[in-house]
Every structure is written in C-alpha cells, then in structure tokens.
Amino acid sequence: MTDLQANTELLTKLNGLAAGLFLLTAFGMIAMRQVLACLKLFVWQSILLAASATILGFQHSSVHLFVVAVITVGTKSILIPWLLVRLVSQEAYARREISQVLNIPTSLLLGMALVILAYFASSPLLGGSQDPFVRMNLPVGTAGVLLGAYAVVVRREAVPQVIGLLAMENGSFLAGICIAPDLPIIAELAAAFDVLIIALVMGLLTRRIRERTGMTVVGKLASLKED
C-alpha cells in the first residue's frame, strides 16, 4: 500500500516537473528571438507532453496513454519540425525577429498574467477533484493554450505564428490527457492527423507567401483595410 502510495508520489512529482518545464517552454516561445530556437522549443514542449502522457500511463496503467505518447513524439517532435523545415526555405529559419508588437519584457509580464488567469479559470473546475495530476495538468494546459495564443498575436514572423498555434494544440492536449484519458483512440489519432495537416497547410502557405512577397514577415501584410 505504501509502496503504491510512494510510487504515486514520485509520479506526481515527476509529472509536476514535466508540467513546470512545459510552462517554461511556452514562455520561451514568446521570448525567443531566433526562429530556429522557437522550433526547438516546440520540439521540447512536445517531448514534455509525451513524458507527461507516459507518466499518466504508468499511473492509470493504461496502454492507451502510452500510445498517445508515442504518437505525440512521432508527429510533433519528429514529423512536424521536419515538415516545417522542408516546406519553408532555410532562409526563414536563419533569421531572428527584429521586433514584436510589444517588447519582450512586457510580453513576459503579460504572459505571467495569462498564467494567473488560467489558474483562476481552472479553479472552479478543480473544485471537487483531488487527483493531483489533474490539478497540475489542467491549469498548465490552459496556460499553454493562452500563452500560445499570445505568441501568435504578438509575433510578426510566419513560422513563430505557426509554432504558437501548434503550441496551443499542445496545451489543450496536456489538459486533455489528464481530464479525458480514455477518449477513444480514433479521436486521438484523428486529432494528431489534424495537427499534421495544420503544419502542412501553413507550411505550404508560408512558402507561397514567401514566393509571392519575398518575405515571411506576415505582420507586415496589412493592405486589406476599410480605408
């Protein structure tokens, strides 16, 4: 009994570690200037997501979650970065973003406020639940979604915007593996496939934009207005 309890304790702490580092990578996506660094952060974030899924798999003794972890690593850590690098030219990754909509320290502070917001938004949902994994993953997942959204809004380059979008999906998956661990495998597979299509579509579109306008700073495309 105590062995099981100790096991759960260790798993809880490890899961907490994965979730904490997940949050850190989400912040990194707002703060990193280099486009390639953003992509690497995304790879790490997906690996942390898979780690959390594996830990939950041990906890609930469910093969299902292990499969989810494997799918996550396969698509998000390997396939999607490869796809993004192949589709968008190398040159887009060699650069760094000169300016964002707000400067980075302000963005970091706003990001902090978003994390607090995520915790408050999840607290009525956590009211009854005593499951420590849910208590850790749900707020961090929601925070990941909000931070990803913020990254999309604040960055002007195309590839970091795509990565921000994918980070939002990562965040919702992190929340999902703890609150919906037995979602039918078909849904999980389809969702993973869907993320792949997002990367594919946006990669192709970025290439098209680059071919047509010679740059990938989509923040500068602002000609469609009322005046």
Partner 1 sequence: MGSKGLRMGGVDVTEKILFNVVQVLVVMLVSPLVKGVLNRLKEAVQSKRGPSIFQPYRDIWKLFHKDEVISDSATWIFRLTPYVVFITPAFVALLIPVLTGYPLFFAFMGDMLGGGFILALGGFFATLAAVDAANPYGAMGASRTRMVGFLAEPVFMIVFFTVSFVAGSTIPYIVHKHWVNPPDNFFEPSHVLLMLAFLMLIIAETGRLPVDNPSGHFELAMIDESKGLEYSGRGAALMKWGASMKFLVLVCIYLNVVVTPWGLAQGESLGELLLAIPLVFLKVFVFVVVLVVIESSLAKLRLFRITEFLGGAFITSVAAMITRLLEG
Partner 2 sequence: MELLVVLLVPALSAILCVLPIGGGLAALSTVVGCLAVFLISIHVALTTITRGHVIAFPGWISCDSFGALILLLVAFVGLTTSIFSLGYIRRVVPQEREGKKRRYYARFNLFLLSMLAVPAFSHLALVWIAVELTTLLSVFLVSFEDTSEALEAAWKYVVLTCMGAALALVGILILYWGMKIAGRGDFTWSGLIVASPDIPGPFLQTAFLFILVGFGTKVGLVPVHTWLPDAHSQAPSPVCALLSGIETTTVLYTIIRLLPALQGLSHGPGSWLMAAGLASAGTAAFLLLQVKDYKRLFAFSTVEHMGIIMFAAGIGGTSAYYGANLQMVAHSVTKAFCFLAAGSTLLVVGHREIASVKGLIRVSRPAALALLTGSLAIAGAPPFAVFLGEFSILKAGIQSGQEIPTVALAAFIVIGFCGVMYHVNRMVFGSPDEEEARVRLPGSVLVALGISAIPVFLLGGYVPGILEEMLRLAAASLGR
Helical pair 35-60 and 158-179, crossing angle rounded to 10 deg: 10
- Which H/E stretch holds residue 146? helix 132-154
Contacts of 191 (CB under 8 A, 6+ apart): 173
Among 140, 193, 190, smallest CA distance to 167 is for 140
What token pair was written down for 33?
Answer: 């200037």
Determine, following the binding rule CB under 8 A, whether residue 202 of this chain makes contact with partner 2: yes
Give the x/- contact pattern for partner 2 in 61-100, rule: CB under 8 A: ----------------------------------------
- Contacted by 112, from partner 1, partner 2, none: CB < 5 to 8 Å by type: partner 1
Q: List, in sequence order, every residue forming a beta bridge with 34; answer none if it has no partner.
A: 96
* Distance in Å, CB of 171 to partner 1, minimum: 15
Among 184, 179, 195, smallest CA distance to 77 is for 195
Please count the other Cβ atoms lying within 10 Å of the Cβ belonging to residue 220. Answer: 11
CB distance 164 to 155 below 8 Å: yes
CB distance 210 to 90 below 8 Å: no
- Contacted by 148, from partner 1, partner 2, none: CB < 5 to 8 Å by type: partner 2
* Distance in Å, CB of 179 to partner 1, minimum: 16
Which residue lies nearer to partner 1 by CB, 105 or 127?
105
| Interacting positions 154-193 with partner 2 (CB under 8 A) | 158, 161, 165, 168-169, 171-172, 175-176, 179-180, 182-184, 187, 190-191
d(CA 72, CA 148): 18
Residues that bind partner 1 (CB under 8 A): 9-10, 13-14, 16-17, 19-21, 23-24, 27, 31, 104-105, 108-109, 111-112, 115-116, 119, 135-136, 139
Burial (CB count <10 Å: 0-12, 13-18, 19+), residue 90: exposed
* Distance in Å, CB of 142 to partner 1, minimum: 12
Residues binding partner 2 (CB under 8 A) = 121, 124-125, 127-128, 141-142, 145, 148-149, 152, 158, 161, 165, 168-169, 171-172, 175-176, 179-180, 182-184, 187, 190-191, 194, 197-198, 201-202, 204-205, 208-209, 212-213, 218, 221-224, 226
